Amino acid sequence: MMPENCLFCKIVRGEIPAVKLYEDDEVVAFRDIAPQAPLHVLVIPKKHLEGPAAVAVEDEQVVGRMMRVGNEIAVREGFPQYRTVCNNGAQAGQTVFHLHMHIIGGRSMNWPPG
């Protein structure tokens, strides 16, 4: 079930435009509208999962697909070194409560991240 007012579910349904870089039956990847680096892509499952803590055993394969797709896009875009970020909850920085993975590259990254 896709919540009606979930921003990323609206992108999956085609109700909100996005610059899509990849799409298949399970995942969609698109450019972030407020990029924090030369490469900033979001990879999301089409199935609505609220965040990393909502991933169940039956969802593990789609999370692996998200990782693979993120890597393929980063390499194709010329950024073989990148950071993968997946926030869980508001205190961790999650602002859209639909599982998503940020692929960020093209600049030096600091640790700890913030």
Catalytic residues: 100
CA distance linking residue 90 with residue 60, whole number of Å:
23
Give the list of residues 6+ apart from residue 53 with CB closer than 8 angstroms, or none: 88, 89
